[in-house]
A and B are shown apart, each in its own frame.
Chain A
Amino acid sequence: MTRKTILAGTSILALGAVAMPAVAQERVPSVEIFTTTESYDPIRYEGAFIIAEAWEELGVDVSVRPMEFSTLLDRFYSEQDFDATILGWSGRVDRLDPQFFLGTLDSRQAELGANNPGGYDNPDYDALYDAQGAEFDIDARQQIVQEMQDLYVPDAPVVVLFNRDEVVAYNNTTFENMNAMAGEALYSEWVPMEAQPLGERATLRIGGPQEPDNVNPLASTSVWGWKWMRLYYDRLVRLSPDVEPVPWAASSVDPVDDVTIDVTLREGMTFHDGEPLTAEDIVFTFNYYMDSDYNYFDSYLAAIDSVEQTGDLSVRFNLSEPSAPFATITLSQIPILPQHLWEGIENPGDLTPDEIPTVGSGPFVFDRYDRGEFMSITTNPDHFHADEIAVDAVEFLIYADAEGVFTALQTGQIDMTAWRLEPGQIPLAEENEELTVVSVPDFGYYHMTFNTRREPFDDRAVRRALSMAMDRERMVNVLLDGRGEVGTSIIAPVNAFWHNAFVERFDYDLDAARAELEEAGYSWDDDGRLQR
């Protein structure tokens, strides 16, 4: 006989809970779901209510609390003062390497302010996290990464709600060979290098509703700054459209042992001002970033112990610990700065816009940036990749909102959109024969994270049951208009190499959720509230 039937019996006999202290159960404490305000993001806002509705049905007292975005970040990361929170991680290219997302469940990142605010703590998981980070054999690493997903998913410390599709469009009468990249859509670093003009104009025009915060490589903290700057700064390695690291400014990257990596530079490279690019610039750049107050790259640089010059064109990186993602992430993200222009600058973060040396060595040359209006770069004829590039310049037109961008696309003022279309614009774009709509899945994700230190989320069974009580299918269909995919793992399906397609799935099923709870000793009182 289960406790539920005993309880049912007691109520029939009208003895009440007091008469049967042995089986008296306490109601599960009420919970709050933190989410964004409706105006900041209607999707996360509505999503919270969809979840709350089903949880109520399961007998949990739940309230939704929308919060201003930075307050939400504070409560979640800095204070860890929450029951369950809906937030998201954006899919930046460097996060295609599993290191970052896997780290969000590492118990050593559970301190205040770090990336595991839910406090998931699984020693086996942590051990595997270290193992994959140090594994240079990519197949062996893949296996560990997939095992980690198998390990954490059944514990349900976090539920990936969905991966949203990025829908953008370009004008198919002006350019072709526009290949969208996972997570980056069209505004990737490759599209300007691969686009083929169809008409006389060889200048690619991009339009977007956002602009860089600034174009100071030691101050910009926005994706919009770096998406632009990476076009005129080279990196040692670039990630290919298939997200494989390809040597770029480096001609080769050779691991000597687990903690020593030799990099040889391509010959004959120069900065846009004509000065040669040598190993000295590489050593300078990495040290300059490591010594600066600029935090943006800190997590990438953390593994580096020292950088030394071993020849005119060769550099040795000494790591403090083995780091498999070093070549993919660190080397592909740090821009190469010219030593001769930066070495005299002591507080690079304080430079005014006019003082910033915008000289790189990349395939494009910085031309101008008129705040709020316009940015442009021209193709660098001296770059080793110049022969592959068909456009002669790239212009970025800044609009006030997505409506302005779309009007510009329709009237031919721009060739492609840098940012996703609004839901209402997608059918319009699809009807327009001159426009091609491109949809790419995002490997960033929206998630609900449980605070595993708190009741009732400290109980694995509750987390599992509540995960089954999230109608994520409905969220994708209704909130995303079908443009997305129900989440399965923190490593998204589009990130096929690292994604584990066979993890446990928590489909929406309230009966299964109830069964899970009953099995763990939960029951429901006369009012249908969950108790234990």
Chain B
Amino acid sequence: MTRRGYLIKRVLQAIFSLWIIATILFFLFRMGLPDPTAALVTEGLNAEQRAAVRAQFGLEEPLWRQYVLFLTNAVQGEFGTSFSYRAPVSEIVWERLANTMILMLAAIVLAYAIGVPLGAWLSWRRGSRTDTAGIFFGLMFRSAPMFWTGMIAILIFGVGLSLFPTSGMRTLPYDADGFFDKIFTLDFLWHAALPVLIVALYYLGSPLLIMRNTMLEVYGEDFIEMARAKGLPERDILYKHAARNALLPVVTQLAVTIGLAAGGQVVVEVVFSWPGLGREILNAVRTSDFPLAQASFLIMAAFVITLNLLVDILYTTLDPRVSFR
């Protein structure tokens, strides 16, 4: 198959996946969750008043019509009005997604920036105490629940030492002209420090261990032997020859991690009262806010699918062996 054919096929696959997900989401919410008006209206509303509320939100329409409407609107990026906020869903979701992504990306970049070289270095010192300690801590933070590490961090750095704030993105109230105005401040960095640290520690384990183990495999390859035979310094062999070749699985892992990051780490967002998408989804499901929940999940899915697609395409360039099968 040609490269172009491969690309077209992959894009079509991605679109198909999205459609399936959108459909499942739509019906899942209507089957799984009960009448949203039960959550929308207060206790003691009679049947007639409930029907009025239902009609107001278009829930009296036949299901297939709601479905078609949902799909057409979704394609145009329109997700309707949130039941509880009475505000356009897209507005809420994009803002929350940005809040989540800035936290997650900062943490992921930090984790990979430290984890990759550290993993390479550990592989070089394999079998030593440093290596054992590195693996231990990597695994420990990977397995420790983040609500726990988060609360410990709050207890020590927030309550005990009063070094860092324990909640939110900024000192409240603040005025910001758009998203970047909000985050390019020292105040934001100060607020983000603890949650970023906690998420980064959690993510650190993956690049660290993957890098270390792949490096160990690479060491057995002939070209390393060759480099040694040429008398190259060990450091050059490690970083210039072995590390480059060990990066591929790390890149895959990175893409998957970023893709899944859109959903945020709900636990961290709750512990640090971070106004992110994860928290919003939780609320939306809890209050049967269909439009908001649907849109959030759909955008998350779109994120994962798009990133996977990008990685696949990137791969064909990075490693020609992964060709158009």
The answer to whether B87 has its CB under 8 Å from any CB of chain A is: yes
Q: With A and B bound together, what is the CA distance between A407 and B154 in angstroms?
A: 8
* A70/B34 contact (C-beta < 8 A), A213-B85, A349-B86, A408-B166 known: yes
* A221/B159 contact (C-beta < 8 A), A214-B84, A403-B271 known: no
25-64 of chain B: CB within 8 A of chain A: 33-36, 38-50, 52-53, 56
155-206 of chain B: CB within 8 A of chain A: 158-159, 162, 165-169, 172-173
104-118 of chain A: CB within 8 A of chain B: 111-115
Instruction: Please determine whether A299 and B173 come into contact, CB atoms closer than 8 angstroms.
Output: no
Q: With A and B bound together, what is the CA distance between A373 and B48 in angstroms?
A: 36
List residues of chain B with CB within 8 A of the CB of A400.
Answer: 167, 269-274, 279
Q: Which of B56, B151, B162 contacts A411 (CB 8 A)?
A: B162
Q: Which of B46, B52, B280, B287 contacts A114 (CB 8 A)?
A: B46
Q: Which of B43, B86, B270, B271 contacts A73 (CB 8 A)?
A: B43
* A115/B44 contact (C-beta < 8 A), A293-B52, A352-B88, A397-B172 known: yes
List residues of chain A with CB within 8 A of the CB of B48.
Answer: 113
On chain A, which size bracket covers the interface? 35 or more
List residues of chain B with CB within 8 A of the CB of A130.
Answer: none
The answer to whether A399 has its CB under 8 Å from any CB of chain B is: yes
- Which chain B residue shows the least CB distance to A376? B173
List residues of chain B with CB within 8 A of the CB of A352.
Answer: 86-88
Instruction: Please determine whether A353 and B158 come into contact, CB atoms closer than 8 angstroms.
Output: no
Q: With A and B bound together, what is the CA distance between A397 and B169 in angstroms?
A: 12
Instruction: Please determine whether A71 and B53 come into contact, CB atoms closer than 8 angstroms.
Output: no
List the one stretch of A189-197, A364-372, A509-517 in contact with chain B.
A364-372
The answer to whether A478 has its CB under 8 Å from any CB of chain B is: no
Q: With A and B bound together, what is the CA distance between A221 and B39 in angstroms?
A: 10
* A407/B40 contact (C-beta < 8 A), A353-B85, A374-B173 known: no
The answer to whether A395 has its CB under 8 Å from any CB of chain B is: yes
List residues of chain A with CB within 8 A of the CB of B96.
Answer: 372
Instruction: Please determine whether A74 and B35 come into contact, CB atoms closer than 8 angstroms.
Output: yes
* A371/B173 contact (C-beta < 8 A), A68-B34, A221-B40, A221-B41 known: no
Q: Which of A89, A293, A373 contacts B172 (CB 8 A)?
A: A373
List residues of chain B with CB within 8 A of the CB of A214.
Answer: 84-87
Q: With A and B bound together, what is the CA distance between A351 and B151 in angstroms?
A: 39
Task: Give 1 or 0 for each of A57-76: 1 = CB within 8 Å of chain B CB.
Answer: 00000000000111101100
Q: With A and B bound together, what is the CA distance between A299 and B43 in angstroms?
A: 12
- Which chain A residue shows the least CB distance to B268? A400
Minimum Cβ distance to chain B for residue A88 (Å): 9
The answer to whether A176 has its CB under 8 Å from any CB of chain B is: no
Instruction: Please determine whether B42 and A296 come into contact, CB atoms closer than 8 angstroms.
Output: yes
The answer to whether A489 has its CB under 8 Å from any CB of chain B is: no
* A408/B167 contact (C-beta < 8 A), A293-B56, A298-B49, A403-B271 known: yes
List residues of chain A with CB within 8 A of the CB of B85.
Answer: 213-214, 353, 371
List residues of chain B with CB within 8 A of the CB of A114.
Answer: 44, 46
Instruction: Please determine whether B45 and A113 come into contact, CB atoms closer than 8 angstroms.
Output: yes
Q: Could you show 21 A-B contacts with beta carbons less than 8 Å apart?
A: A69-B39, A70-B36, A74-B34, A77-B43, A214-B85, A293-B52, A296-B42, A298-B49, A350-B86, A352-B88, A353-B86, A372-B96, A395-B173, A397-B167, A397-B172, A400-B167, A401-B270, A401-B273, A407-B154, A408-B166, A411-B159
Binding site for A on B (CB under 8 A): 33-36, 38-50, 52-53, 56, 81, 84-88, 92, 96, 151, 154, 158-159, 162, 165-169, 172-173, 269-275, 279-280, 287-288
Binding site for B on A (CB under 8 A): 68-71, 73-74, 77-78, 89-90, 111-115, 213-214, 216, 219, 221-222, 293, 295-296, 298-299, 349-353, 368, 370-374, 376, 395, 397-401, 403-404, 407-408, 410-411, 413
18 new A-B contacts at CB < 8 Å, known A371-B85, A400-B269, A401-B273: A70-B34, A70-B35, A70-B288, A71-B38, A78-B47, A111-B46, A113-B47, A115-B44, A219-B86, A349-B86, A351-B86, A352-B87, A372-B96, A374-B172, A404-B166, A404-B273, A407-B158, A413-B167
